[in-house]
Amino acid sequence: MRTIVVLDAPSNLGLRPPAPGTVPGCYKLAGALREQRIVQRTGALEGGVVVPPRYDRGDWQPGDGVFNAAALADYTRTLADRIEGHVRAGEFALVLGGDCSIQLGAALALRRLGRYGLAAVDGSADFRHLGNSPHVGAAGGEELAIATGRGQADLSDLEGLRPYLKDEDVRLFGMRDEDEDQAELAALQIPHATVGQIREWGAAELARATVESLETPALDGYWVHLDADVLDPSVMPAVDSPDDGGLMPDELAPLLRTLLSSPRCVGLNVTIYDPDLDPDGTAGALLADLVVGALAPA
């Protein structure tokens, strides 16, 4: 039985303000899931918290690059130090975000250790870069592009390790059927499955095939990234971009459980859920249940 360690990464540095003068509430995700007793229910050890820098976009304007870039770079290195330590110790890191930019901490940590894959369960590809967009800004919508070496060097080439992930080592699940990134991903031969394709092929079956492809000797292991917006807003409205047509809980559950079942899977991060948008805690309870169920012993 693997040892799970829960580590909080309550950073919102990669998201736009939801309204002028406010900050994204996803930094409260970790606390909300802890209130659901996620540590006790997973039988995890306590990993503490990696405190993020202050959220401050200053006078950023479109065309200035990724906002909060210097703070994001510092935070990515610090989070990577912690994740690297747990992976080296043979522990499974359960990282509670935060926005999707925290995935860069895992990607950098694993790049230091060798060659790892990524299975991203996300309502969007988070693949915005200057090759497909007039400008960049919010790293939470760009972290996969950054991790695969696309983007400004102060984020994509930390420690001279660009790319943290190779295109061929990435697998994507849960994009909406009409997602415009599909053509580019196909051209780059990055495997991806939309919600409709997951339903057509079967969540568990698709995940099993994916695990087999990530258990190749070329990889030292893989990481799983979970963005709460992969769920349909009818059950998960508490996200910054609640797009219709997402997965339902009974579809996400077998997908996530199968992806996490392999001993080659070294960690999971959970992102984007915003307790400020969930006043009765229903969506947070669902998210905690899904994570706990996916990590339960077989």
Q: What percent of the chain has pLDDT over 70?
A: 100
Assign 64 to helix, strand or coil.
coil
Q: Residue type at 23?
A: V
96 has which bridge partners?
8, 270
Burial 240-260 (b: 16+ CB within 10 A, else e): bebbeebbeeebbbbbbbbbb
Cα separation of the two ends of the chain:
10
Assign 265 to helix, strand or coil.
strand
How far lies 152's CA from each of 111, 119, 134, 204, 248, in Å?
18, 24, 14, 37, 36
Q: What percent of the chain has pLDDT over 90?
A: 98
Q: What is the mean pLDDT of residues 8-14?
A: 98
**Per-residue pLDDT tens for 198-243?**
999 999 999 999 999 999 999 999 999 999 999 999 999 999 999 9
User: What does the alpha-carbon distance between residue 257 and residue 296 come to, in Å, rounded to a whole number?
Assistant: 8
The closest alpha carbon to 115, from 26, 21, 221, belongs to 221
What integer pLDDT is reported at residue 32 of this predicted model? 98
Confidence of residue 21 (pLDDT cuts 50, 70, 90): confident
- Inform me whether the pLDDT recorded for 177 exceeds 90: yes
Q: What is the DSSP pairing of strand 170-175 with strand 45-49?
A: unpaired
Q: What is the mean pLDDT of residues 31-40?
A: 98
What integer pLDDT is reported at residue 137 of this predicted model? 97
* Residue matched to tokens 């369960």: 121
**Per-residue pLDDT tens for 60-97?**
999 999 999 999 999 999 999 999 999 999 999 999 99
Confidence of residue 105 (pLDDT cuts 50, 70, 90): very high
What integer pLDDT is reported at residue 288 of this predicted model? 98
Q: What is the mean pLDDT of residues 138-149?
A: 98
Q: What is the mean pLDDT of residues 127-145?
A: 97
Confidence of residue 1 (pLDDT cuts 50, 70, 90): confident
Average pLDDT of the residues of the chain: 97
Q: Provide the token pair at 91.
A: 């522990």
What integer pLDDT is reported at residue 298 of this predicted model? 78
Q: What is the mean pLDDT of residues 109-130?
A: 98
Q: What is the mean pLDDT of residues 32-46?
A: 98
